[in-house]
């Protein structure tokens, strides 16, 4: 059998595997949006069954044999060709997944589905004790998962690798060790300046009007409503069910405008990435983002670097004032711009300003590693969280809902994920500096509400490649260096030095 025929057979099997994964994604989306509470048990079994079948499909002897036969064929191909990368990426995925029993994957999927509604209720009640057993079970399963990959440098490595292929725990710790004192120094400098006033943001903003304005902006960004939709959820997220079906969610606070708007633009960034992947990669393992950090670089860019910029609001603030004349009619553009960029330690990660956001992530990484290592017991997590918040940000949560229960990730088994948010911030600034060189009038285009050149640049450099390249490789190809904190610190320092006039 010639290589082309074997490759066609492999693609057929991968299409079926991807269809199963996409269906699981649809079930998760429904779980977090419209599923009635009574569907929880059944949904857990459905997801577990499909996860087991998908795992068996990918790790079958047939896939393994095809990969073995096709590996020499890649030497005949351009190393960057879609087929060459598909074989390489699938090989990596196959080797990793083959180390994990299908029964364990099903258990993790069932536990995640069951834990979600437990977390929702525990958060509503601000009672970590209700969620503790679910988290203990998830941690036990995730340790079993990590143990499948011995030998490793650190037990956290296999979990991190699920979201950042090729990156090690030591790599992330080294980046954060360099970054943290620089961010602390900036925060200390900002704290010496008079605080900006954002009190006018804390008043009633009609939810339906917030929705309308957010839709207007992300439509201008380029979000394709023929291949996407927006809904409400407890925790904003994006679910790509296929390149033709990319769904985002948001949440609203009727007494604080920035919450829904920046959640909407954040998820739009994820959505644009998913919608921009080359159609030739559809229904294969390449039809994903390169990594969670690369995905976060897109969401944080559209949320913050664009959405919190003076250029952006020069164009959109008059429209927002028309939507909310009573609340904002007498508030100047400069006052509004400063307010949405106010730097102040806060309890909730997703509401945090750019200058303090990474401190939330560093704390979560520290706690996750301690939990996986076993040096921190789940029952002691709320106290460790509160102590860490005091150390990192100088504030202590008054209850579990505003503290240890605020994020959905642990209930869903996403251990290894949190550091990708901060890494995404760093990548955002690296990409932005390169893009600004290639598009000299970028700021002027944003000021006019024109995003075609910006998004086209991202489509060409990032989006279309999907998962063809590992994150460090992709960043190196675009920017000339691996993940580097310096552009991000330049961005933060320049922006907040001006706002706080240090």
Q: Say whether both 452 and 482 belong to one domain.
A: yes
Same domain, 133 and 260: no
208 within some domain? yes
The answer to whether residues 137 and 176 belong to one domain is: no
How is the beta sheet containing 238-242 ordered, strand by strand? Answer: 228-232, 245-250, 238-242
Chunked in runs of 10, what are the mean pLDDT values of the chain (502 residues)? Answer: 93 98 96 92 93 96 97 93 97 96 94 91 96 97 97 96 96 95 94 94 96 98 98 93 97 92 97 98 97 97 97 98 97 97 93 94 97 96 97 95 95 94 97 97 97 97 98 97 96 95 66
Q: Is residue 398 exposed (0-12), middle (13-18) or buried (19+ Cβ within 10 Å)?
A: exposed
- Asked whether the beta carbons of 294 and 166 are under 8 A apart, the reply is no
Position 159 in a domain = no
CATH number at residue 360: 1.10.1370.30
| 17 and 47 assigned to the same domain | yes
How many other C-beta atoms are found inside a 10 Å radius of the C-beta of residue 399?
14
Per-residue pLDDT at 351: 86
Residues 118 and 263 placed together within one structural domain of the fold:
no
Identify whether 247 is part of a domain.
yes
Q: Report CA 278 to chain centroid distance, whole Å.
A: 20
- State which of 151, 180, 211 marks the end of a domain: 151
Q: Let me know if residue 157 belongs to a domain.
A: no
**What pLDDT is stored for residue 85 in this prediction?**
97
| Same structural domain, 85 and 195 | no
Separation between Cα atoms, residue 188 and residue 40, nearest integer Å: 46
Active site residues: 267
Structural domain harbouring 332: 169-500
pLDDT at residue number 379? 97
Query: Of 305, 304, 324, 349, nearest to 201 (Cα)?
Result: 324
Q: Does residue 47 belong to any structural domain of this protein?
A: yes
pLDDT at 405: 97
Q: Pick from 211, 156, 192: which is nearest to 374 by CA?
A: 156
Which of 106, 122, 151 finishes a domain? Answer: 151
- Based on the fold, state whether residues 89 and 198 are members of the same structural domain: no
- On whether the CB atoms of residues 453 and 459 are closer than 8 A, the answer is no
Distance between CA 75 and CA 250 in Å, rounded? 46
- Verify that 77 and 187 share a domain, yes or no: no
Q: Is residue 175 domain-shared with residue 42, that is, in the same domain? A: no
Tally the domains of the chain.
Answer: 2
Q: Are residues 114 and 220 in the same domain?
A: no
Please indicate, yes or no, if residue 481 is contained in any of the structural domains: yes
Q: Is residue 377 part of a domain?
A: yes
Look at residue 40 in the predicted model and tell me its pLDDT: 87
Which residues, including other chains, have CB under 8 Å from residue 39's CB and lie 6 or more apart? 31
**Does residue 156 belong to any structural domain of this protein?**
no
Are 134 and 174 within one domain? no
Helices (H), 148-200: 157-163, 169-191
Q: Are 267 and 215 in contact (CB under 8 A)?
A: no
CA angle 352, 385, 403 (to 5 degrees): 50
* Closest to 455 (Cα-Cα) out of 431, 476, 477, 471: 431
Give the angle subtended at the CA of 438 by the CAs of 436 and 442, to the nearest 5°.
Answer: 45
Measured CA to CA, the distance from residue 307 to residue 435 in angstroms comes to 16
Q: Is 318 found in the same domain as 458? A: yes
């Amino acid at each position: 059998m010639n290589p082309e025929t074997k490759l066609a057979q492999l693609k057929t099997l991968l299409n079926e595997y991807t269809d199963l994964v996409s269906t699981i994604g649809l079930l998760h989306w429904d779980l977090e949006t419209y599923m009635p509470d009574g569907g929880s048990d059944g949904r857990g079994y459905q997801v577990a069954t499909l996860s087991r079948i998908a795992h068996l499909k990918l790790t079958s002897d047939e896939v393994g044999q095809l990969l073995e036969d096709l590996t020499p064929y890649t030497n005949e191909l351009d190393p960057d060709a879609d087929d060459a990368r598909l074989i390489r990426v699938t090989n990596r995925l196959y080797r990793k997944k083959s180390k994990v029993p299908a029964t364990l994957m099903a258990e993790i999927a069932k536990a995640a589905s069951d834990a979600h509604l437990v977390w929702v209720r525990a958060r509503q009640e601000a009672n970590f004790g209700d969620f503790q057993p679910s988290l203990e079970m998830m941690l036990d399963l995730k340790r079993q998962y990590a143990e499948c990959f011995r030998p490793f440098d650190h037990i956290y490595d296999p979990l991190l690798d699920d979201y950042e292929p090729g990156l090690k725990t030591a790599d992330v710790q080294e980046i954060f060790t360099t970054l943290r004192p620089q961010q602390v120094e900036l925060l200390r400098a900002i704290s010496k300046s008079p605080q900006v006033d954002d009190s006018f943001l804390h008043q009633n903003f009609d939810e339906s009007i917030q929705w309308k304005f957010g839709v207007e902006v992300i439509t201008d960004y380029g979000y394709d409503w023929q291949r996407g939709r927006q809904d409400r959820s407890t925790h904003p997220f994006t679910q790509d069910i296929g390149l033709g079906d990319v769904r985002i969610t948001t949440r609203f606070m009727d007494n604080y405008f920035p919450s829904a708007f920046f959640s909407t633009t954040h998820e739009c960034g994820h959505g644009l990435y998913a919608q921009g992947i080359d159609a030739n990669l559809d229904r294969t393992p390449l039809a994903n983002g390169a990594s969670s950090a690369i995905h976060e670089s897109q969401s944080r860019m559209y949320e913050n670097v664009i959405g919190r910029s003076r250029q952006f609001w020069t164009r959109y603030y008059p429209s927002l004032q028309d939507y909310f004349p009573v609340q904002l009619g007498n508030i100047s553009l400069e006052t509004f711009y400063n307010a949405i960029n106010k730097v102040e330690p806060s309890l909730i990660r997703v509401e945090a300003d750019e200058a303090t956001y990474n401190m939330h992530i560093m704390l979560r990484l520290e706690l996750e590693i301690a939990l996986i290592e076993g040096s921190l017991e789940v029952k002691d997590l709320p106290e460790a969280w509160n102590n860490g918040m005091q150390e990192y940000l100088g504030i202590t949560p008054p209850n579990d809902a505003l503290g240890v229960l605020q994020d959905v990730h642990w209930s869903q088994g996403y251990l290894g994920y949190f550091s990708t948010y901060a890494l995404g911030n760093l990548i955002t600034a690296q990409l932005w500096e390169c893009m600004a060189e290639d598009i000299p009038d970028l700021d002027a285009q944003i000021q006019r509400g024109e995003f075609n050149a910006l998004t086209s640049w991202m489509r060409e450099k990032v989006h279309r490649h999907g998962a063809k390249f590992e994150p460090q490789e992709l960043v190196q190809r675009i920017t000339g260096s691996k993940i580097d904190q310096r552009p991000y610190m330049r961005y933060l320092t320049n922006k907040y030095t001006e706002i706080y006039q240090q």
